[in-house]
Amino acid sequence: MNANFQWTAVLTTALLAGCRSLPTPPVTDAPQVVAPQSAAPSQPAASQPAEDVQQVAYLSQPNSNDGSAPRPPSDLLPPGDDMQPQGPPAAPPLGEEVTEVLLDGITLAEAEQTALGNNPTLREAAALVAQTQGRWVQAGLYPNPEFGYVGSEINAEGTAGQQGAIFSQELVARGKLQWSRAAAAREVERARWEMQVQELRVLTDVRMQFYETLGAQETVTTAEELRAIAEHGVRIARQLEAALQAPRTDVLQAEVELNTAELLVRTSRQREWAARRQLAALMGVPDLPPGLLIGSLEDRQAFLDWSTACQRLFTVSPQLAAAQAKIARAQAQVRREQLEPFPNLSLQLTSQYDFGSDDPIYGAQLQAPLPLYDRNQGNVAAAAADVRRWSDDASRIARSLERRLAEVWQRYETSQTQSQVYESNILPRSRQSLDLITEAYEGGQLDFVRVLTARRTYFENRLRYLEALIAWRQAEAELEGFLLTGGLDAPDEGEAASKEN
């Protein structure tokens, strides 16, 4: 009995050792879901989800190294036939948080860098990428084996009965794990595109607010210049009144004009304070340094043209690329659901020792469900509907961008034309007119009403010129940022996360 029991123990141990190295069932026909390389690549025949599922062409994604266009993830190739569970692609690095106190005025580049390090939405987007990478790992893991104790006929005829061990393992049908990981890989790709979308949202908001703050600074300077001219006008009016060359009404009008200029200075400073606070919030810092922002609204950039703006937006927009990644994930999920009716096998092996007959007993059991009624047809239909849904969503995003582009382009061209006309014609002429009328008034040739009219005309034109410059530079920032704004809005969590919530 002891010898037979020892042999049973040895076989049980060998059985357990074998379960540690149980190989993944070989896959010989699992189709590949490759990353898109052309505008409309053909899909593998095996991956056609259903006859009524629309196949959507991918956007072309140029591999530009000049920093002008986002780069698609290149390390997320889906699993092939020889795929084994392995670590996911490296998570994108988080920006370094800027903790030092800024002591002087900042440039636009410094504001952008600070925002990339401090804006919380970018860290949230990076965490979402890491989350999808974890799901990518989990999706391809093979089920764990199970081991336990089994005993039967205990105390039969006063013996210990049959004692031993049981081992079970679920054998996954070929292709299921590969396509599960393929769908998860597309979700990682979507999350990484969404991270680039969020980064562009932050940068666009920072640029627009930076130009708004620059304009507020220039408005304060213009208002202070108007106040200085108004103060000079009060002194001249009083001198002319003392010399009996101007009536008392001129002095009163000059003093009213000075009060108006002082009010303009005060409101301009309040606008500048609010603009600086908004910029600080986007940058993720308590406050901006006391100095003025370093930059100019009048720095001329290369003018954009409509055809270039359209082509750039609809070929390399990360927002459209994220939408295409959703379609690719849905298509992979359709194929995964189509494989679900192919049953997984449940293998059970037992090794026991019969203390009554002094004999070893071995058993084996192999089970599989018969897909007679539930062939996963409901989930296949739902996954196919998801493909159509995300295809229509991609079309919606494209049409929305088209409408938005027309709106921003109209602001860009209008404000650009206005700023050029003001700079080259209106401002020089109105300034010359103000100088001549002021000189004539001081010589007693004109009344003070003409001076007030010329002064108001000049400074109204100055303010309109500044507003045109601000609108032009802000529209330019939107075009460069693929029309993406909302730097403090939460990033898109994706379909998987929304289903969990």
* Residue 53: band (very low, low, confident or very high) from pLDDT cuts 50, 70, 90: very low
Q: Backbone phi, then psi, for 370, in 5-degree steps?
A: -95, 115
Position 33 in a domain: no
- For residue 80, pLDDT over 60 is answered with no
pLDDT at residue 499, rounded to an integer = 55
pLDDT at residue 97, rounded to an integer = 53
Look up residue 423 and give its DSSP letter: I
CB 179 within 8 A of CB 336: yes
Report the number of distinct structural domains present in the chain: 1
Q: Where are the beta strands (DSSP E) in 33-77?
A: none
pLDDT at residue 442, rounded to an integer = 83
Q: What is the mean pLDDT of residues 69-92?
A: 38
Per-residue pLDDT tens digits for 198-253 = 999 999 999 999 999 999 999 999 999 999 988 988 888 888 888 888 888 888 98
DSSP string, 268-294: HHHHHHHHHHHHHHHHT-S---SSPP-
Round to whole Å and give the CA distance between 16 and 146. Answer: 10
Position 209 in a domain: yes
CB 187 within 8 A of CB 329: yes
Site of tokens 């593998």: 44
The better pLDDT of the pair 265, 158 is held by 265
- For residue 21, pLDDT over 80 is answered with no
What is the residue range of 191's domain?
Answer: 2-19+108-500
Number of Cβ within 10 Å of residue 317's Cβ equals: 24
Whichever domain contains 484, its CATH number is 1.20.1600.10
The better pLDDT of the pair 424, 495 is held by 424
For residue 170, CA distances in Å to 111, 345, 379, 416, 463 come to 56, 6, 22, 68, 75
Round to whole Å and give the CA distance between 302 and 300. Answer: 7
Question: What strand order describes the sheet that includes 146-152?
Answer: 146-152, 162-171, 345-354, 359-367
Round to whole Å and give the CA distance between 261 and 224. Answer: 8
pLDDT at residue 104, rounded to an integer = 64
The half-sphere exposure of 183 on its side-chain side, counting CA atoms within 13 A, is 22
DSSP string, 65-102: -SSSSPPPPSS-PPP-TT----PPPPPPPPPPP--SPP
Per-residue pLDDT tens digits for 457-487 = 999 999 999 999 999 999 999 999 999 999 9
- CB neighbour list of residue 344: distance below 8 Å, 6 or more residues apart: 170, 171, 172, 173, 176, 368
- For residue 59, pLDDT over 50 is answered with no
- Mean pLDDT, the chain, rounded, equals 81
- For residue 339, pLDDT over 50 is answered with yes
* Residue 30: band (very low, low, confident or very high) from pLDDT cuts 50, 70, 90: very low
Position 479 in a domain: yes
Number of Cβ within 10 Å of residue 57's Cβ equals: 13
Q: Which residues pair with 361 in a beta bridge?
A: 352
Closest CA to 63 of 74, 49, 76: 74
- For residue 91, pLDDT over 80 is answered with no
* Residue 495: band (very low, low, confident or very high) from pLDDT cuts 50, 70, 90: low
pLDDT at residue 3, rounded to an integer = 52
CB 108 within 8 A of CB 210: yes
Sign of CA dihedral 80, 82, 84, 90: negative
CB 383 within 8 A of CB 337: yes
Q: Backbone phi, then psi, for 359, in 5-degree steps?
A: -130, 145
Position 8 in a domain: yes
Round to whole Å and give the CA distance between 330 and 316. Answer: 22
Position 459 in a domain: yes
- Give the type of residue at 361: I
Query: Among 46-60, 356-370, 409-423, where is mean pLDDT lowest?
Result: 46-60
* Residue 96: band (very low, low, confident or very high) from pLDDT cuts 50, 70, 90: low
Closest CA to 58 of 78, 70, 69, 72: 72
Round to whole Å and give the CA distance between 466 and 472. Answer: 10
Round to whole Å and give the CA distance between 324 and 448. Answer: 67
Position 66 in a domain: no
- For residue 342, pLDDT over 90 is answered with yes
pTM of the model: 0.76
Position 40 in a domain: no
- CB neighbour list of residue 72: distance below 8 Å, 6 or more residues apart: 35, 61, 189, 193, 321
Round to whole Å and give the CA distance between 400 and 409. Answer: 14
Per-residue pLDDT tens digits for 376-404 = 999 999 999 999 999 999 999 999 999 99
Position 99 in a domain: no
